[in-house]
Amino acid sequence: MSEPEDRKVLHADLFTEDPEPRLIAGKSKSSGNWTFPAYLADPVSFQDDVEPTLLPRRGILHSFTIVRRSLPDFPVPFGLGLVDFPEQEVRVMAQVEADDLENDLKLEMEVETIVGIVRKAKDGSDIYSYKFRAIK
Amino acid sequence: MASLRDVYIIGVGQHPCGKFPTKAAHVLGREVTWAAIKDAGIHPRDIEIAFCGHVYQGMGVGQRTLKDIGIVGQPVINVEGACGSGTLSFWEAWRSIAYGQNNLALAWGVENLSKIMSGGPLPLEEDDIEVALGMSMPGLYAMRARRYMDEYGVSAETLAKVVVKSRKHAAMNPIAQFRKETTVEQVMADPMIADPLTRSMCCPIGDSAAATVLVGGDMLNKIKRDKDRLPIKVLGIAAQSGGYSSATGLTCDPSENVTRTSGMAYEHAGLGPKDIDIAEIHDAFAIAELIVAEALGFAKKGEGATLIEEEKSNYDGDIAINPSGGLLSRGHPVGATGILQTVEIVNQLRGEATGYQVPNPKIGLIETMGGAQPAMDGITCVVSILGK
């Protein structure tokens, strides 16, 4: 990515920043259950053998909205979505980008993990983190 | 469940909902706690324990409130459970009596939001990952709405009709924040907050407080009261924290929590959804009235809209849902909401809801849902069932 190295990044521990970023979830070695983010223990088996494990880059858009009014520091409008990773039985909430928010976002469409601007800092600079992008 | 004492509500008090930026939480609180004590006809010093539900009102607000009406020394517990804080305080008061620790308890809820914000979505906990990335309550409910509308073929106009009904009810409620009736066209033309929710499909920012006095059934005729108010019995009650939605979060549906909690309350009361005449439910956003009505068993899954379309949930319908106007129109001063709902049901069961009295209700239900967490079905849910 071309952004300066001192850019502000939120929750950098939850995603990889390679050209094809992926979310870092947790997977229990014994039960195989996933959570995002990684919990201290698997909530089903209560085994504390959770290891950082990458989710697939692509997920399915379960639902979304276009937020028109939000808290300060979030320029509106922006897309907000619930993205399913069915094989891992994980759902992730994050912002969703599209060229045309009004028309490009559809339920059950494929989205991919990206890193982009999610909000403003108090000094007006951009803050980056993981988000999703609609795949046409 | 172990053998429990019967618990009755013998006094209530409430403050109008709206913007009262000059009234601190303890000022709102002392007015309603005093009103509830007077309504019960008891001496203030007979209160053995008190619970104050709030979210944003700071340290020791319960103690600061009761100091102003001469109630000091007794245990005062401040209770926080997001938007369920008020009914969580009520549940604590019920518990202290039902399990025999106390005879007489006070439970109130209070919030002054206009002191901390002028509008927009409620400030949430920035330590939550999703909040830091842009989640807000309107955004979350908007996503629920979009999915629900797609799955069950419900239109935005139906959501608008929820608001129309809500405003119609509130127009007759003297403490409601919004008392002007509206139309589907007006609701649809409001500014969009988070698609498909327009501004009037979202509850307002506001301030209020409400209080209840509870007593053990065996003490009803022993405790000194200078009034003979109709006691309202707590027939069933349950409180639950959010659970994992389908273990790993594939549904992210708060109605699971409502179903679970109401199931426990129904079992406690020995009643079911068909026995309920009147209900105050947590319609923080228009979509919530549909999915919560279904979760409570008032309609089949996906058929909550029929209650609205066929006007079955009007105050004179098959089951009167939110005769107060609900959170959308009476108002949603978060920590106060659950007790406002409870006071509304008490007033209706007493036959004292002048101007908007539901015809002869015998059993009423209160449902309060607090907070949101991805992968969980909410933070707090409390359901109580009252009867006369």
- Per-residue pLDDT band for B33 (boundaries 50, 70, 90) equals very high
A-chain residue closest to B119, CA distance:
A71
Q: Catalogue all structural domains in chain B, each as residue range(s) with its CATH number.
A: 7-117+205-219 (3.40.47.10)
Which structural domain, as residue segments, surrounds residue A110? 8-134
Structure tokens at B366: 């209160």
Lowest-pLDDT range, B64-78, B113-127, B138-152, B174-188?
B113-127
Average confidence (pLDDT) over B5-27 = 97
B128 in A contact zone (CB under 8 Å):
no
- Separation CA B179–CA B86 (nearest Å): 23
Q: What is the pLDDT of residues B255-290, one digit of tens each?
A: 888 999 999 999 999 999 999 999 999 999 999 999
In SS3 terms, B6-46 reads as: CEEEEEEEECCCECCCCCCHHHHHHHHHHHHHHHHCCCHHH
Question: Is pLDDT at B1 greater than 60 in this prediction?
Answer: no
B202 is catalytic: no
Question: Å from B18 to nearest chain A CA?
Answer: 21
Question: Is pLDDT at B292 greater than 70 in this prediction?
Answer: yes
Q: B-chain residues within 8 Å CB-CB of A43?
A: 244, 247-248
How deeply is B101 buried, as exposed, middle or buried, from its count of CB atoms within 10 A (0-12, 13-18, 19+)? exposed
What proportion of chain B, given as a percentage, has pLDDT over 90?
A: 83
Q: Do A68 and B144 count as a contact with CB atoms less than 8 A apart? A: no
Q: Which of B17, B52, B83, B202 is catalytic?
A: B83
Average confidence (pLDDT) over A34-60 = 94
- Per-residue pLDDT band for B124 (boundaries 50, 70, 90) equals confident
Task: Write the residue in A37, A65, A89 that is nearest to B194 by C-beta.
Answer: A65
Q: B-chain residues within 8 Å CB-CB of A33?
A: 247-248
A-chain residue closest to B247, CA distance:
A44
Within chain A, residue ranges assigned H as helices are 101-104
| CB count in 10 Å sphere of residue B226 | 9
The pLDDT of residue B191: 97
Q: Do B252 and A82 count as a contact with CB atoms less than 8 A apart? A: yes
CA R_g for chain B: 19
Q: To which residue do tokens 């209530």 refer?
A: B12
- Asked if B217 and B206 count as a contact pair (C-beta separation under 8 A), the reply is no
Within chain B, residue ranges assigned H as helices are 25-40, 61-67, 85-98, 129-132, 137-152, 156-170, 184-189, 255-269, 286-295, 304-309, 326-329, 334-350
Question: Is pLDDT at B251 greater than 60 in this prediction?
Answer: no
Question: Is pLDDT at B10 greater than 80 in this prediction?
Answer: yes
Q: Do A80 and B135 count as a contact with CB atoms less than 8 A apart? A: yes
The pLDDT of residue B171: 97
Q: Do A37 and B129 count as a contact with CB atoms less than 8 A apart? A: yes
Q: For the residues of A31-45, what is the DSSP string, one character each?
A: T--EESS--SS-TTT
Residue A123 covered by a domain = yes
Task: Write the residue in B134, B247, B252 that is nearest to A119 by C-beta.
Answer: B134
Q: Do B194 and A66 count as a contact with CB atoms less than 8 A apart? A: yes
Average confidence (pLDDT) over A25-45 = 93
Question: Is pLDDT at B85 greater than 80 in this prediction?
Answer: yes
The pLDDT of residue B93: 98
Per DSSP, the three-state class of B137 is helix
- Per-residue pLDDT band for A2 (boundaries 50, 70, 90) equals very low
Task: Write the residue in A37, A69, A94 that is nearest to B193 by C-beta.
Answer: A69
Structure tokens at A127: 């803050």
The pLDDT of residue A34: 92
Q: Half-sphere exposure of B374 toward its Cβ, with a 13 Å CA cutoff?
A: 25
Q: B-chain residues within 8 Å CB-CB of A80?
A: 134-135, 139, 142-143, 194
- Per-residue pLDDT band for B42 (boundaries 50, 70, 90) equals very high
B-chain residue closest to A38, CA distance:
B248
What proportion of chain A, given as a percentage, has pLDDT over 90?
A: 85
Residues 6+ positions from A2 with CB-CB distance below 8 Å: none
Q: For the residues of B211-233, what is the DSSP string, one character each?
A: EEEEEEGGGTTTS--SS-PPPEE
The interface residues of chain B toward chain A in range 239-268, judged by CB-CB distance below 8 A, are: 244, 246-250, 252
Residue A89 covered by a domain = yes
Residue A126 covered by a domain = yes
Q: Do A81 and B248 count as a contact with CB atoms less than 8 A apart? A: no
- Asked if B210 and B339 count as a contact pair (C-beta separation under 8 A), the reply is yes
Residue A41 covered by a domain = yes
Structure tokens at B359: 């015809």
Question: Å from B131 to nearest chain A CA?
Answer: 9
Residues 6+ positions from B52 with CB-CB distance below 8 Å: B29, B61, B62, B65, B76, B77, B78, B79, B89, B108, B109, B110
Residues 6+ positions from B144 with CB-CB distance below 8 Å: A63, B253, B254, B287, B291
The pLDDT of residue B128: 85
The pLDDT of residue A5: 62
Residue A99 covered by a domain = yes
- Asked if A22 and A14 count as a contact pair (C-beta separation under 8 A), the reply is no
More confident residue, B386 or B247: B386
Average pLDDT taken over every residue of chain B: 93
Question: Is pLDDT at B375 greater than 80 in this prediction?
Answer: no
The pLDDT of residue A9: 95
Structure tokens at B157: 């106009």
Pairing assessment for the beta strands B197-198 and B363-370 based on DSSP bridges: unpaired
The pLDDT of residue B253: 67
The pLDDT of residue B121: 78
- Separation CA B139–CA B136 (nearest Å): 5
Average confidence (pLDDT) over B43-60 = 96
Task: Write the residue in A107, A119, A131 that is nearest to B150 by C-beta.
Answer: A107
Q: Do A131 and B133 count as a contact with CB atoms less than 8 A apart? A: yes
Average confidence (pLDDT) over B384-388 = 97
Task: Write the residue in A33, A74, A107 that is nearest to B248 by C-beta.
Answer: A33
Q: B-chain residues within 8 Å CB-CB of A120?
A: none
**What does DSSP assign to residue B302?**
T
What proportion of chain B, given as a percentage, has pLDDT over 70?
A: 97
The pLDDT of residue A1: 47
More confident residue, B126 or A128: A128
The pLDDT of residue B37: 97
- Per-residue pLDDT band for B164 (boundaries 50, 70, 90) equals very high
Q: B-chain residues within 8 Å CB-CB of A90?
A: 248-250
Q: Do B248 and A78 count as a contact with CB atoms less than 8 A apart? A: no
B273 in A contact zone (CB under 8 Å):
no
Residues 6+ positions from B291 with CB-CB distance below 8 Å: B144, B148, B253, B254, B255, B304
Q: Do A70 and B134 count as a contact with CB atoms less than 8 A apart? A: yes
- Separation CA B248–CA A50 (nearest Å): 14
- Asked if B10 and B214 count as a contact pair (C-beta separation under 8 A), the reply is yes
Q: Do B139 and A70 count as a contact with CB atoms less than 8 A apart? A: yes
As for how many domains chain A has, the answer is 1
Question: Is pLDDT at B254 greater than 90 in this prediction?
Answer: no
Lowest-pLDDT range, B5-14, B130-139, B171-180, B340-349?
B130-139
Average pLDDT taken over every residue of chain A: 93
Question: Is pLDDT at A4 greater than 60 in this prediction?
Answer: no
Q: To which residue do tokens 């088996």 refer?
A: A45
Task: Write the residue in A34, A81, A95 that is nearest to B248 by C-beta.
Answer: A34
- Separation CA A78–CA A128 (nearest Å): 14
- Separation CA B149–CA B155 (nearest Å): 6
**Nearest residue to B160 (alpha-carbon basis) of B136, B137, B181, B143:** B181
Residue A1 covered by a domain = no
Q: A-chain residues within 8 Å CB-CB of B249?
A: 35, 89-91
**What is the CA angle B303-B310-B359, rounded to 5?**
110
